[in-house]
Amino acid sequence: QSFLNCHHVSPYSQNPTQHMAAFNSLRAALVLATLTALAVAQSPSPAPVLLGTAGTFAILTKTGISTVPASVVTGDIGVSPVAAAAMTGFGLIADTLSTFSTSAQVTGKAYAASYVSPTPSKMTTAISDMETAYTDAAGRAISGAANLNVNAGLISGTTFTAGVYKWGTDVMFSSDIYLSGDANSIFIFQTSGNVVAGSGAKVILQADSSGGSTPLASNIVWQVAGFLDAGTTSHLEGVFLVKTKAVFKT
């Protein structure tokens, strides 16, 4: 399981997969029908998904993180129960106490279950908090019938307001989508499939009709039972709780 905290891009994953730490969009040919912009009706804002100590990480996973230099990760990264060797491509340098490592590609610190105490306990707690957040997000009831399987998962051009949305399909967008609200707006996106953002596609945060602040990335949660595939030059917003793998292409 993996957790990506994408404040301008964040995930959660279960199979032994790789997580590339450079954000962006899909090289694979992505053919989507041209869609008319669709505005989803306003729903009451749900309660936030609490991340606990998992929220202190930019990337957190049970299986490993792989990067291609020179990527840039802003914040801490961590793996557990796997060892530090599961973080590849970072050129990690252990601190003098071996409780964490640093990398020229990471502005924060890198933690692993194999490091010296108290790091193993810290990582066990963070992974547990991540799993709790995933279960919470997956179990939320949708805000209304209109929020089920919006546009059959082909959401290019769609504007979403605060609420819980659910798909029994992949969620794909090859052009921009819009999240409209304010700093208190909560968005929860659930899918039993995958999330695929096409090359250059963006998640754009915009203020609602009140004209105040825009939604916060920390209030946007994507619960993904499959994988996340973000194409070259794409731009994502939110916390991604991804069960299998997350790939960010450059």
- What confidence tens digit (pLDDT) does each residue in 127-150 have? 999 999 999 999 999 999 999 999
pLDDT number for residue 45: 86
Looking at mean pLDDT, say which of 5-14, 32-41, 191-200 comes out highest. 191-200
Alpha-carbon distance of 169 to 185, in angstroms, equals: 25
Window from 39-43, 155-159, 161-165, 205-209 with minimum mean pLDDT: 39-43
| Under 8 Å between Cβ of 38 and 165 | no
Rg of the chain, C-alpha, whole Å: 18
| Under 8 Å between Cβ of 233 and 4 | no
Decide if pLDDT at 78 tops 90. yes
Residue type at 170? D
pLDDT number for residue 13: 40
Start-to-end CA distance of the chain, whole Å, equals: 23
| Under 8 Å between Cβ of 12 and 132 | no
Given pLDDT bands bounded at 50, 70 and 90, which one contains residue 32?
very low
Per-residue model confidence as pLDDT tens digits over 180-201: 999 999 999 999 999 999 999 9
pLDDT number for residue 70: 80
Question: What are residue 205's DSSP bridge partners?
Answer: 179
